[in-house]
Structure 1
Amino acid sequence: MGKFMGIFACLLIVCLDMVGGILGIKAEAAQNQEKHLRLWIFECKEPSHDAYVLGLAAATLLGIAHVLANLLGGCSVCTQEEIEKASPTKKLSIACLVFTWIILAGGLSMLVIGIISNHKSRASCGFTHHHFLWIGGILCMVHALFAVAYYVTATSTLD
């Protein structure tokens, strides 16, 4: 039963992150469908409601996948002394945990910047902001790799 739940948890985390990544990339495509006028580094563009909704869904799925991976993997906060004495698997688990947090911060930041730029009240001109939703979508997919690696290494140290 434990192995089945572990496989199910890994698949669920990967599916949430992959769907979030796909939605982020689709949001970028929807954003690029809107009218825009570009002059050197300045750009005037209309916000895209579809990009807004898809980006919001991608950010939500990334957050849910991250919370799920942390809850199922177990958040273990260690002191410096415990880290030095820890097994290589435990050290790998901590490294994967740190990388998931870094990727979450980067991916969520990119998605939020893309979401804000597509909000209805943001029809304006300014510096170009390209590919934030696309980068956020790609980081969702990278998050899946490190989240599953964290879950696997964290649960293997418990056995």
Structure 2
Amino acid sequence: MARNYGFLVCLLIMILDIIAGILGIEAEISQNKVKHLRMWIFECRDPSYQAFKLGLAAIILLLLAHVIAQLLGGCTCVGSKAEFSNSTPNQQLAIGSLIFAWIVLVIAFSMLIIGTMSNSRSRKSCGIAHHRFLSIGGILCFVHGLFAVSYYVSVTAAQREKQRLQPRNPAGGAAGPTNTASV
């Protein structure tokens, strides 16, 4: 008897993304607590090790949530535009969610990396002020969670739909073309 763990997987993905988002926002708050000198658009500030740790944890959790969604969701492939238009709505939703999940992942990952690396211990940055990279990356973690869960749900629904539509033979396997040759 196959068990359905879909709800738990969706819950795990959302929890990981929510925690990553909260950590990104907390890293931004921690970054803003360090001393800095500001003149017009230029700013010099000390790095915040706490913001570095929180940002790194947010990056790891974001990547872990994405990997879980991709590995446990499986693969949905479309080779052409015609094949996409002939696919089921669940497959189309899975492909769209996959594309948006990857786009949001790249943007959130980049924002979190930039914010985290600016808080590396080896740097004291002086230059044009750039704020809110960590908080924007954290907010995008929430958006990533929505697309990752949407991908997981739609790809598993498409797989179940595909299994239901395949005719079965009496032996229990999928019926397919048989190649019998007469001698």
TM-score, length of structure 2 as denominator length = 0.84
CA–CA separation in structure 2 for the residues paired with 1:60 and 1:98: 21
1:149 aligns with 150
TM-superposed deviation, 1:41: 1.0
CA–CA separation in structure 2 for the residues paired with 1:68 and 1:92: 19
Stretch of structure 1 that moved more, 84-93 or 148-157: 84-93
For structure 1, the 5+ residue unaligned runs are: none
Which protein shows a greater Rg?
Answer: 2
CA–CA separation in structure 2 for the residues paired with 1:142 and 1:153: 17
Deviation per CA, 1:14-71: give whole Å up to 9, x if none: 0000000000000000000000111111110000000000000000000000000011
TM-superposed deviation, 1:88: 1.6
Bigger helix share: 1
After TM superposition, list the pairs within 5 Å mapping 1:5-154 onto structure 2.
Answer: 5-80=5-80, 81-154=82-155
TM-superposed deviation, 1:78: 1.6
CA–CA separation in structure 2 for the residues paired with 1:77 and 1:63: 22
AA of the residue aligned to 1:18: I
TM-superposed deviation, 1:76: 2.3
TM-superposed deviation, 1:75: 2.3
- Match of 2:122, SS state, is helix
TM-superposed deviation, 1:129: 1.1
TM-score, length of structure 1 as denominator length = 0.96
Aligned partners of 2:76 and 2:94 also within 8 Å? no
Q: How many residues align?
A: 158
- Match of 2:126, SS state, is strand
2:173 aligns with none
- Match of 2:76, SS state, is coil
The structure 1 segments of at least 4 consecutive aligned residues displaced by more than 3 Å after TM superposition are none
TM-superposed deviation, 1:111: 0.2
| Structure with the larger RCO, 1 or 2 (CA within 8 Å, 6+ apart) | 1
AA of the residue aligned to 1:116: M
- Over the residues paired in the alignment, what is the CA RMSD in angstroms? 1.0
For structure 2, the 5+ residue unaligned runs are: 161-183
